A and B are shown apart, each in its own frame.
Chain A
């Protein structure tokens, strides 16, 4: 086969992904003088950030003046069951307010308090109302604001393109290569730095709130380039996804429903969450329905309703209720705001939930309860980064947003993701630009790397076999849903690993029909490489952690193990195989430790 021709686009910094983190990184890198481009799999403005609903957490203190960065720090550490990277959490909590205010500079219009300031709503795990929001379409507001800010800075955007490989030169980043999804044309980006902002990998599970794009490309790219991953076993199943109709299963129902007063009930009509308050959160959780209901308006003398425990706790509770036969007809539980708040309040605060249920399920949430069940929603783990610089362990590689690990520990609090994108997107862009300015001799990728990558991408057009990429994808999603889902156990995960290996064999026999022009079957085949890698790393990391903590729950190790609370599981690819290491979490300074241990 002859060499595949390609277009060359040299830049200082290439940002992969155009969600909130990628856009914020590009804005910062460009503002600091780096020649910057963004490459994304979809059209600009369609990335998964657009689906974020509830809000961006930041201790602005607009509604509750008692709220400070320290309280946000504490809530985030405790929500993450203390295996978070404390320095990331510190930077995050301190910088969050300015990052949110900056969005107003660029045109964002958040809902207001009566004083004209940014309003802040209640969410799970947050001591005070803390989420800057726009109804329940906050992600749209943020992505649109960043998108138009970036457009005004003349950053080049390569839409509907997929990066398949990172290029390296003597162990440091030398660029990336990929292809145009519309024409199938091959692209090479010789760059000095790459920012990974590829988001999560929820598509590896059957029921997920994530879009088709969330196939974990960044995980595959990072591993292949030699970067470390961290906490890959920590996958968040959001407590409330739609369960009916079948085509809508997994679509998110915002935590804002509970933040605004909605409660969970089982088939018997009981508010079951009071039965599931863990010891770790007992002192800060309401003991009765009366106290819980008073909390919405008086946070000083009442404690948080158990419906607003961190997501991992609520998810486990729903799982058990359904398992013990107290579920709804379609295998979920009821989320009821109709009997708790007036219709005008619901349609004003939760307009897109109202629209979504009305259009897709024919249910009016101002009149009836929603049926919900946990859905795969977020990956806490990801590329291991330096807390201050967002640098991965490979020189020239940076990572921000959901693809980076460490900030959220074992479980992310709602509202912390949008702020994560802003704080660490900016840091990644800033430090990538800084790194570029220190480079004396430009990295240079060998032609062989580019040719090998092109050959691998095109192989499925001539592969021996007749497997369908969509069948392999569904097979993988079913394996992960069954064996590496909300609850996991050793034997099931061993089975999963065998099946993943078998699916990898099937992938080599996938034959793509049609042309290279906008061919979804071909695109899906490419995505399967990252998806299978993600599945293997998650499963192997999950086998390693023999306890229940945060997003990782095991039926064979139901308790939290204090010793495992002092370690992270780190994965890396060496000579083509994935190796795991158990490493101590960074030592938290005493003054921050005291903040974490303070109650209320």
Chain B
């Protein structure tokens, strides 16, 4: 594909009742991303083409869609990466969520799940009113907090993608990442293990790593969040004494150099 050339975008149009792929011709420009092409269609050919976008810089996670069948942020997907020789480029809504219209899906399930996560509950401040945590302790938590809630990991997750019946008892990769961010926070005091096992249903995950592959932030969802959480579940479920020892000594939770004052 060269700048100035016309290409075909095959965009899914429709609503909850029915839909079909519609072809649009778009003249490309240097460095154009899929979102640019969709907006060009909206501005000149289909003003009612529904899609979400906000920042156009890969920071807000609004413009998720399936480009040629792959879950992507359309704002960070350059046409040169995905436009094949002579073949139309297909853009469809995320498949794991019900369609509202065109590329917009009903992602409210994620926001309902978010409400089920018990909030961060920190140990009290140090006597001088500050909290001390060291960079090496917070780095793994910071990886999880890079999540932009694009829900691509939820979209691609096998547990729910083809089995919507699992949605009530499964939180999905996004919320394992959130739970991991709290659980591994040096100052969090809550015991989240039962929540992770029972309510979030981490046992459903069979570690296929699809979530990790689609994460636009490069979070190692499976290796750094899900597997350690699974280990904690196993440890506590089968060995509550070991869990208590960890809690008391701070091992696996916070470094011995900075025990929260309450302990």
Known: A43-B62, A109-B142, A513-B48. A152 touches B31 (CB 8 A): no
The 8 Å CB contact of B119, one of A42, A50, A148, A159, is A148
Q: Which residue of B lies closest to A152 (CB)?
A: B119
Shortest Cβ distance from residue A477 to the other chain B in the assembled complex, whole angstroms? 12
- A26 CB–B CB distance under 8 Å: no
In contact, B50 and A211 (Cβ under 8 angstroms): no
Which residues of A lie under 8 Å from residue B78 when comparing CB positions?
Answer: 359-360
What is the CA–CA distance of A515 and B13 in the complex, to the nearest angstrom?
A: 13
In which size bucket is the chain B interface? 35 or more
- A329 CB–B CB distance under 8 Å: no
Shortest Cβ distance from residue B126 to the other chain A in the assembled complex, whole angstroms? 9
In contact, A116 and B133 (Cβ under 8 angstroms): yes
In contact, B134 and A116 (Cβ under 8 angstroms): yes
What is the CA–CA distance of A141 and B181 in the complex, to the nearest angstrom?
A: 12
Which residues of B lie under 8 Å from residue A111 when comparing CB positions?
Answer: 135, 142
Residues 103-137 of B at the A interface (beta carbon under 8 Å): 104, 107, 111, 114-115, 117-120, 122, 125, 129-135
- B230 CB–A CB distance under 8 Å: no
Shortest Cβ distance from residue B9 to the other chain A in the assembled complex, whole angstroms? 15
Which residues of A lie under 8 Å from residue B51 when comparing CB positions?
Answer: 520
Shortest Cβ distance from residue A485 to the other chain B in the assembled complex, whole angstroms? 20
- A2 CB–B CB distance under 8 Å: no
In contact, B50 and A518 (Cβ under 8 angstroms): yes
In contact, B185 and A109 (Cβ under 8 angstroms): yes
In contact, B185 and A51 (Cβ under 8 angstroms): no
Shortest Cβ distance from residue B242 to the other chain A in the assembled complex, whole angstroms? 27
User: Number of residues in A with C-beta < 8 Å to the partner?
Assistant: 68
Per-residue A-contact encoding for B12-49, CB less than 8 Å = 1, 0 else: 00010000000000000111110010000011100111
In contact, A109 and B100 (Cβ under 8 angstroms): no
- The interface stretch among B52-60, B156-164, B203-211, B221-229 is B52-60
Secondary structure dominating the interface of B? loop
In contact, B47 and A50 (Cβ under 8 angstroms): no
Shortest Cβ distance from residue B33 to the other chain A in the assembled complex, whole angstroms? 6
Known: A151-B114, A213-B54, A251-B56. A514 touches B47 (CB 8 A): yes
- A558 CB–B CB distance under 8 Å: no
In contact, B119 and A211 (Cβ under 8 angstroms): no
- A144 CB–B CB distance under 8 Å: yes
In contact, B43 and A144 (Cβ under 8 angstroms): no
- A352 CB–B CB distance under 8 Å: yes
In contact, A105 and B47 (Cβ under 8 angstroms): no
- B149 CB–A CB distance under 8 Å: yes
Residues 217-263 of B at the A interface (beta carbon under 8 Å): 258
What is the CA–CA distance of A517 and B100 in the complex, to the nearest angstrom?
A: 9
The 8 Å CB contact of B59, one of A50, A213, A361, A512, is A50
In contact, A520 and B50 (Cβ under 8 angstroms): yes
- B71 CB–A CB distance under 8 Å: no
Shortest Cβ distance from residue B258 to the other chain A in the assembled complex, whole angstroms? 7
In contact, A520 and B48 (Cβ under 8 angstroms): yes
Which residues of A lie under 8 Å from residue B119 when comparing CB positions?
Answer: 106-107, 148-149, 151-152
Which residues of A lie under 8 Å from residue B133 when comparing CB positions?
Answer: 109, 112, 116
The 8 Å CB contact of B61, one of A46, A474, A517, is A46
Residues 87-113 of A at the B interface (beta carbon under 8 Å): 101, 104-107, 109, 111-112
Going nearest first, the 10 A-B pairs with the smallest beta carbon separation are A245-B31, A521-B47, A514-B48, A116-B132, A107-B120, A152-B119, A518-B50, A247-B36, A470-B43, A211-B54
Known interface pairs A144-B147, A157-B111, A360-B78; 11 further A-B residue pairs with C-beta atoms within 8 A, sorted by A's residue number: A50-B60, A107-B181, A107-B182, A135-B142, A137-B59, A140-B59, A182-B104, A211-B55, A247-B36, A359-B78, A518-B50
